[in-house]
């Protein structure tokens, strides 16, 4: 019953709010994209167009406001790469893909991600809105992780056995890892104790869910994200205490089965299990397709031709990046890499606290995004999931910082000596 009430309230409230404040509607849309009410509360929430209702009102409100403001600052190239990616998907679908129906369905799903992204980047007005979006993402993924943990402790590891919302355990692990970095920095930088406690609970729930997902790629990305977060945290003793506490709790939660599963990722060729050997063969095949078909074979088409390369029909490539390269060609993969990489590269100096005069809230958001994107990029190498929405919205926060943070745009035009003078004057 709680799920039904929650879904109806957010659908109605989000639809109305979208007409007057599209960014508010976007936060509801992002929440639904993570929680997936029909899957989360399948026993009480009937199938419906909850996200679509919010999305249509979101676009209507965007149109009413004149499609937002397109003064994007240093986010301009990032947004351009994303738009170019979507246009290339449409081109490959219409001009190259043998199965137009499959290609158009993929293009539709990508449009449902790109359009809300454009609404967000053109309607965001303040850093506070980006902070609110970060909390929406962490709380939504934290609640999903809570349900995964409840199922796990009840004796049924639904995440590992069934996955969630049409995604397998590896795919869900990517979404969890992409949010862990955000939660870590909310623990460290939140102003009140209750906010830190809430972020800590979400973080631990997500980390534990990654552990019992038994996703080797997810585990490797989680460890990497933790190391990056440790590198980026401010050099304060209390922060090291917080971080050490999280690490100790994670170590305590990690069982022998997790260690054994993770260890197989580094096994020698003679000791690799069948899935690891097959995955390497799939990656090699994707690289070969990229060489023979530099424009791509069509969106979502690798499963349709996998049997031609000695794999079962409808086999995924188990790599977001390599499957994207095979299906969308070098141009499509480049646009996707430029999108995520552009956010990462432009935020890196801010995350490292190398920009003079930077505001603490902007630095915090930059560290969140950088840590999350590193975890996502690594985990995505082990699973094919271009439809996963969370990383796009994490990147939206980063693009929003590039748009709104004045120090990013000022420092971009400063030489080393000028930057030193600017630091002294700031």
Weakest-pLDDT range from 9-18, 104-113, 261-270, 384-393: 261-270
pTM passes above 0.75: yes
Question: What's the pLDDT at 304?
Answer: 93
Residue 47 binned pLDDT confidence (cut-offs 50, 70, 90) = confident
**Alpha-carbon span 344 to 176, nearest angstrom:** 19
* Residues with Cβ within 8 Å of residue 260, at least 6 apart in sequence: none
Residues 66-115 have pLDDT tens digits of 888 898 988 999 999 999 999 999 999 999 999 999 999 999 999 999 99
Tokens of 157: 């590891």
Higher-pLDDT residue of 275, 219: 219
Q: What's the pLDDT score for residue 370?
A: 94
Task: Give me the pLDDT at residue 73, please.
Answer: 87
CB 374 within 8 A of CB 395: no
- Distances in Å between the alpha carbon of 39 and those of 27, 66, 124, 169? 19, 35, 30, 15
More confident residue, 426 or 223: 223
Residue 352 has pLDDT above 80, yes or no: yes
* Structural tokens at position 199: 């972020």
Tell me the angle at which helices 100-123 and 390-404 cross, rounded to the nearest 10 degrees: 30
Helix (H, G, I), strand (E, B) or coil at 415: coil
To the nearest whole percent, how much of the chain has pLDDT over 70? 88
In 21-99, where does DSSP find H-type helix?
22-35, 37-40, 50-64, 76-95
Three-class secondary structure of residue 108 per DSSP: helix
Mean of the per-residue pLDDT values of the chain: 86
With H, G, I as helix, E, B as strand and everything else as coil, classify residue 383.
coil
Map out the domains of the chain as residue ranges: 1-67, 73-425
Let me know if 254 is exposed, middle or buried by CB neighbors in 10 A (0-12, 13-18, 19+): middle
Burial of 271 by CB count in 10 Å (0-12 exposed, 13-18 middle, 19+ buried)? exposed
For residue 120 the two structure tokens come to 């967000």
Residues ≥6 apart with Cβ < 8 Å to 406: none
Return the structure tokens found at 26.
Answer: 């976007």
Residue 84: exposure state from Cβ atoms within 10 A (0-12, 13-18, ≥19): middle
Residue with the bigger pLDDT between 67 and 138: it is 138
The closest alpha carbon to 364, from 347, 344, 339, 376, belongs to: 347
What torsion, rounded to 10 degrees, do the Cα atoms 280, 285, 291, 292 define?
A: 180
Q: Are the C-beta atoms of 332 and 88 separated by less than 8 Å?
A: yes
State yes or no: pLDDT of 266 exceeds 70: no
Q: Once rounded to an integer, what is the mean pLDDT over residues 40-57?
A: 89
Confidence of residue 167 (pLDDT cuts 50, 70, 90): confident
Band the pLDDT of 211: cuts 50, 70, 90: confident
């Amino acid at each position: 019953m709680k799920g039904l009430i929650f879904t109806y309230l957010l659908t109605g409230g989000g639809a109305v709010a979208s007409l007057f404040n599209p960014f508010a509607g976007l936060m509801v849309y992002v929440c639904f994209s993570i929680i997936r009410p029909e899957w989360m509360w399948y026993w009480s929430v009937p199938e419906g167009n909850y996200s679509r209702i919010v999305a249509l009102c979101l676009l209507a409100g965007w149109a009413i406001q004149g499609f937002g403001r397109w003064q994007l600052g240093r986010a301009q190239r990032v947004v351009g790469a994303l738009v170019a990616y979507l246009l290339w998907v449409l081109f490959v679908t219409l001009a190259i893909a043998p199965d137009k129906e499959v290609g158009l369905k993929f293009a539709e799903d990508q449009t449902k991600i790109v359009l809300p992204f454009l609404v967000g980047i053109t309607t965001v007005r303040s850093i506070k809105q980006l902070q609110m979006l970060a909390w929406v993402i962490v709380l939504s993924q934290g609640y999903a992780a809570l349900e995964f943990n409840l199922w796990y402790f009840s004796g049924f590891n639904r995440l590992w056995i069934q996955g969630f919302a049409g995604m397998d355990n590896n795919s869900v692990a990517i979404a969890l890892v992409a949010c862990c970095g955000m939660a870590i920095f909310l623990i460290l930088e939140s102003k009140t104790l209750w906010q830190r406690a809430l972020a800590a609970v979400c973080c631990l729930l997500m980390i534990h869910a990654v552990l019992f997902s038994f996703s080797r790629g997810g585990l490797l990305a989680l460890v990497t994200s933790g190391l990056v977060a440790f590198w980026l945290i401010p050099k304060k003793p209390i922060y090291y205490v917080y971080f050490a506490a999280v690490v100790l709790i994670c170590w305590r939660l990690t069982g022998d089965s997790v260690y054994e599963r993770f260890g197989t990722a580094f096994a020698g060729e003679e000791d690799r299990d069948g899935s690891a050997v097959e995955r390497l063969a799939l990656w090699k095949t994707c690289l070969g397709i990229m060489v023979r078909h530099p424009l791509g074979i069509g969106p979502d088409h690798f499963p349709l031709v996998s049997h031609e390369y000695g794999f079962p029909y409808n086999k995924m490539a188990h790599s977001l990046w390599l499957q994207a390269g095979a299906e969308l060609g070098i141009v499509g993969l480049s646009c996707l890499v430029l999108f995520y990489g552009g956010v990462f590269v432009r935020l890196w100096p801010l995350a490292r606290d190398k920009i003079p005069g930077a505001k603490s809230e902007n630095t915090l958001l930059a560290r969140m995004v950088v840590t999350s994107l590193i975890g996502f990029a690594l985990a995505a190498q082990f699973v094919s999931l271009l439809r996963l929405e969370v990383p796009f919205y994490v990147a939206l926060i980063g693009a929003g910082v590039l748009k709104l943070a004045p120090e990013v745009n000022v420092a971009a035009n400063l030489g080393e000596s000028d930057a030193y003078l600017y630091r002294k004057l700031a």
